[in-house]
Structure 1
Amino acid sequence: MGEDLRFDGRVAVVTGGGRGLGRSYATLLAAHGAKVVVNDPGGSLDGAGVDDSAAHQVVREIAEAGGHAVASTESVATPEGGRAVIDTALGHFGGIDILVHNAGIVRRAPLSEMTYDDFEAVLDVHLRGAFHVVRPAFPLMCEAGYGRIVLTSSIGGLYGNDEVANYAAAKAGVVGLSNVAAREGAAHNVTSNVIVPAAVTRMAEGIDTSAYPPMGPELVAPVVGYLAHESCSVTGEMFIALAGRVAMAAVTESPGVYRPSWSMAEVGDELDEIRDRTHPVTFPVVPDGHGDHIRYSFAMARQAGQVHA
């Protein structure tokens, strides 16, 4: 294998970088030349408490390996904390080129029993936390004419899972945020993509993983590394990384059925054809998936002679 991709001269921020996947991302980027802000307040899995040692330990490991890193122990759960994370990159390394939002907490409960506090706390870190770091970093990247954003979704965000309504809602919302950043950043060489990772880390506590194939964070980190690299040729996409499988996820639609008017009963009568995805339709986010979706629907109406251009 030849020389892998390099990040010399680049500044990266990794939230949740003190453990698990985030630690793997931070150490990979640093090992390949990036200057890294390792952000992690070091709380427990449910977000309680703080432990500054997590981020500082990763920084020490990076330094001992000859790399450059600085710790940030602010919480992304508040706007002030998110801005402080980005300010750490500016203050220590003079800019920001790469933003990987990986920080997360878990608070499980059945939907019928989930408390409002647990719902809000998880959204604060995963979804609002993404905005709290993207918002101050994005204009800087656009002004500089360069940026790579990688936000973290989840299988739970795409397909749901039991007892994680808060987590699933937050992770689905991250996809929408990334898509907007991809669209608005396209003219400025700022890409935004989503990683949908799965690895045996602290978040797998309580799950029997004895029969799992190898699925450590090191199988996910190279995908994030590519999405963070200047050679990354895609934006507005979602990448799966699980147990050595790397794949793309996308929103697809069935071609659908056109009628000039509908009754409720007719929707039921046409349900099989409405749901028929034998020939799926996909609208890439960039350059204009939003507009392409509307134009596709309008075209069906025009073909039926109902709308005249």
Structure 2
Amino acid sequence: MICRDRVVVVTGAGQGLGRAHALALADEGAAVVVNDLGAAAEKVVEEITARGGTAVADLGDVSDWGYAEALVRRAVVEFGALHALVNNAGVNRDRMLVSMTEADWDLVLRVDLKGHAAPLRHAAAYWRECAKEGRPVAARVVNTSSGAGLMGSVGQANYGAAKAGIAALTVIAAAELSRYGVTVNAIAPSARTPMTSAVPAFADRMRPPATGFDAMHPANVSPLVTWLASTDSGDVTGRVFEVEGGLISIADGWQHGPRVERGRRWKASEVGAAVRELMERAVDPAAVYGG
């Protein structure tokens, strides 16, 4: 019961990974606010209460700034506090860049990236006020990035851009909020969900095995999320974890690489040789998915 007496908001928790996280958190003792757009959130609450847990549903669009504020307030009013936020809500509209519409781009950036930023902003404001009032804060944020954002993925320019933005948001928020007792981490999960199962390139990989360990089951991701939402994870912040099946790894992001210094302004004719020298000395980038 590593989350006993903790209050956790999980966004996009009506199905897939969000549902698995909500169930796991409740099983570990958390009171869970289950957010989603539709009645699926209420069904997850019914599942939790049938297992002896505590949860309420809150239906709304987390990319709406005002609703995100109300969602944080609901947790505090319903359960007396908010201790952790699991940002999971997301959509995809996969197309090659030359075929992508403005609506495809705007929807994914709004739901995935703004839908992380809005709840995080209002939860952070609540925790800052708690800290200012002298109340102890051991708050946790778990964001959901993706390999598409970390390495890139052909046909997912909008989704990859949003998920890369979430990774950057994570490390920035971790630096800004540490003074208030808040940690901020992210996961880049691989699992079978309604979203991933709809991608033709993933179809074979996402089929449940006839026997043995189901590496793509979404519940495999939830133990890491649950631990990151607990008080025990207070020494971990600003990290992005890749998680799949029984595997957990730390994704190591952009780093300062090899350098060439002239001590003066470069001539355009000199740059090519310098760049090629740097590329020979640099570590090869990870391959783009589907590339």
- TM bucket (normalised to shorter chain) is 0.7 to 0.9
- Does 1:40 pair with 2:33? no
Q: How does 1:122-201 map to 2 (within 5 A)?
A: 122-144=108-130, 145-201=137-193
* Structure 1 residue 116 displacement after superposition: 0.9
Matching residue's letter, 1:114? M
- Does 1:79 pair with 2:65? yes
- Does 1:266 pair with 2:270? yes
> What secondary structure, in the 3-state scheme, does the structure 2 residue paired with 1:99 have?
strand
Aligned counterpart in structure 1 of residue 91 of structure 2, from 105, 109, 126: 105
Aligned counterpart in structure 2 of residue 19 of structure 1, from 5, 15, 27: 15
Matching residue's letter, 2:100? M
Partner of 2:217: 216
Deviates more, 1:265-274 or 1:98-107: 265-274
Instruction: State the number of aligned residues.
Output: 266
Per-residue CA deviation, residues 209-243 of structure 1 (Å, 9 max, x unaligned), is 24986221121111111211111121111100023
Q: Quickly say closer, same or farther: Cα 1:89–1:211, change in 2 above 3 A.
A: closer
> What secondary structure, in the 3-state scheme, does the structure 2 residue paired with 1:102 have?
coil
Task: Write the distance in 1 (CA, Å) between the matches of 2:100 and 2:51.
Answer: 44
Deviates more, 1:105-114 or 1:137-146: 137-146
Q: Quickly say closer, same or farther: Cα 1:177–1:194, change in 2 above 3 A.
A: same
Task: Write the distance in 2 (CA, Å) between the matches of 1:76 and 1:23.
Answer: 16
Q: Mind listing any 5+ residue stretches in structure 2 that lack a counterpart?
A: 131-136, 286-291
Bigger relative CO (Cα 8 Å, ≥ 6 apart): 2
Partner of 2:49: 63
On the 8 A contact 1:195/1:238 being kept in 2, the answer is yes
Partner of 1:239: 241
Partner of 1:296: none
Matching residue's letter, 1:83? E
- Does 1:229 pair with 2:204? no
On the 8 A contact 1:215/1:244 being kept in 2, the answer is no
Deviates more, 1:68-77 or 1:250-259: 250-259
On the 8 A contact 2:13/2:41 being kept in 1, the answer is yes
On the 8 A contact 1:103/1:125 being kept in 2, the answer is yes
* Structure 1 residue 143 displacement after superposition: 3.0
Matching residue's letter, 2:24? L
Q: How does 1:282-301 map to 2 (within 5 A)?
A: none
On the 8 A contact 2:69/2:119 being kept in 1, the answer is yes
Q: Mind listing any 5+ residue stretches in structure 1 that lack a counterpart?
A: 42-50, 281-309
Matching residue's letter, 1:264? A
Aligned counterpart in structure 1 of residue 260 of structure 2, from 248, 257, 262: 257
* Structure 1 residue 272 displacement after superposition: 4.0
* Structure 1 residue 34 displacement after superposition: 0.5
Task: Write the distance in 1 (CA, Å) between the matches of 2:268 and 2:117.
Answer: 39
> What secondary structure, in the 3-state scheme, does the structure 2 residue paired with 1:231 have?
helix
Q: Quickly say closer, same or farther: Cα 1:245–1:265, change in 2 above 3 A.
A: farther
* Structure 1 residue 67 displacement after superposition: 0.6
RMSD of aligned Cα (Å):
1.9
On the 8 A contact 1:105/1:125 being kept in 2, the answer is yes
Matching residue's letter, 2:170? S
Matching residue's letter, 1:27? L
Q: Quickly say closer, same or farther: Cα 1:211–1:58, change in 2 above 3 A.
A: closer
Matching residue's letter, 1:237? R
Task: Write the distance in 1 (CA, Å) between the matches of 2:189 and 2:270.
Answer: 41
Matching residue's letter, 1:23? R
> What secondary structure, in the 3-state scheme, does the structure 2 residue paired with 1:162 have?
coil
On the 8 A contact 1:78/1:124 being kept in 2, the answer is no
> What secondary structure, in the 3-state scheme, does the structure 1 residue paired with 2:263 have?
coil
Task: Write the distance in 2 (CA, Å) between the matches of 1:95 and 1:119.
Answer: 36
On the 8 A contact 1:253/1:277 being kept in 2, the answer is no
